A = this chain, B = another copy of it.
Amino acid sequence: MLYEINEKVIRLEKEGKKIIKFNLGDPDQQTPTEIINAAFEAMKKGKTKYASAAGEKELREVLAEIHGVPADNIVVTPGSKWAIFAVMYLLLEKGDNVIIPSPHWTAYDLAAKSLGAEVRLLKTSLETEWKVNPENLERLIDGKTKLIILNNPNNPTSKVMDEKVVSKIVETANRKGVKILSDEVYADISFIKTKSLLEYGGEHIIIKSFSKTFAMTGWRIGYAIADKQIADKIIKLNQITLTNVPVFIQDAALKALEYRQKIIQMIREDYWKRAEMACKMLSDTKLKFTKPEAPFYLFPKLEGLDSERFAFDLLDKGVAVAPGTSFGDYKEHFRIALTAPDDEVEVGLKIIAEAFR
What residues of chain A have their CB less than 8 Å away from a CB belonging to chain B?
24, 26, 30-31, 36, 39-40, 43-44, 46-51, 78-79, 81-82, 85, 94, 107, 110-111, 114, 215-220, 237, 239-249
Neighbour of A240 across the interface among B46, B81, B220, CB < 8 A = B81
Nearest CB in chain B: distance from A130 CB, A: 24
Task: Identify 7 residue pairs between A and B in the complex whose beta-carbon atoms are under 8 Å apart, listed by A's number.
Answer: A31-B48, A36-B43, A36-B48, A78-B242, A82-B242, A107-B239, A218-B247
Q: How far is the CA of A31 from the CA of B47 in the complex (A)?
A: 10
Q: How far is the CA of A111 from the CA of B241 in the complex (A)?
A: 8
Q: A26 — which chain B residues lie within 8 A by C-beta?
A: 49-50
The verdict on A220 contacting B241 (CB below 8 Å), with A40-B40, A48-B30, A50-B26 known, is no
Nearest CB in chain B: distance from A343 CB, A: 18
Nearest CB in chain B: distance from A107 CB, A: 5
Contact B79 A242 (CB under 8 A): yes
Contact A220 B237 (CB under 8 A): no
Neighbour of A51 across the interface among B46, B216, B218, CB < 8 A = B218
Q: A242 — which chain B residues lie within 8 A by C-beta?
A: 78-79, 81-82, 220
The verdict on A217 contacting B78 (CB below 8 Å), with A43-B40, A241-B85 known, is no
Q: A39 — which chain B residues lie within 8 A by C-beta?
A: 39-40, 43
